[in-house]
Amino acid sequence: MLQWILVAILVYVVYYLINKYEKKLNTLNEIIEINRSEINANKSKLDTHHEKIQRNKQKIELNQEILSKLKD
């Protein structure tokens, strides 16, 4: 009898944790959908900044080459 009570308690705990997890997932999905346009805008900004970073990296490398030649 005690075994069945423990099994029932464990089943209830698992059920409770699954429901709690599903509620959190639903909330996060709603937040993501609400902010979808901002997320996409930030992704495009990242792409443009990545291009700028690459250009700056090339300029820095060129400047370092020039400096090393001037030191010699």
CA–CA dist 24, 16 (Å, integer) = 13
**Burial category of 55 from C-beta neighbours within 10 Å (exposed 0-12, middle 13-18, buried 19 and up):** exposed
The 10s digit of each residue's pLDDT in 6-63 is: 999 999 999 999 999 999 999 999 999 999 999 888 988 888 888 889 999 999 999 9
Total domains present in the chain: 2
Residue type, 60: I
Reported pTM: 0.52
pLDDT value at residue 44:
84
39 lies in some domain = no
Looking at the fold, whether 1 and 30 belong to one and the same domain comes out as yes
Looking at the fold, whether 30 and 52 belong to one and the same domain comes out as no
Vertex 54 angle, CA 50 and 58, to 5°: 170
Looking at the fold, whether 1 and 28 belong to one and the same domain comes out as yes
pLDDT value at residue 48:
84
pLDDT value at residue 50:
86
* Residue 25 domain boundaries: 1-34
Q: Which residues contact 32 (CB under 8 A, 6 or more apart)?
A: 39
Residue type, 7: V
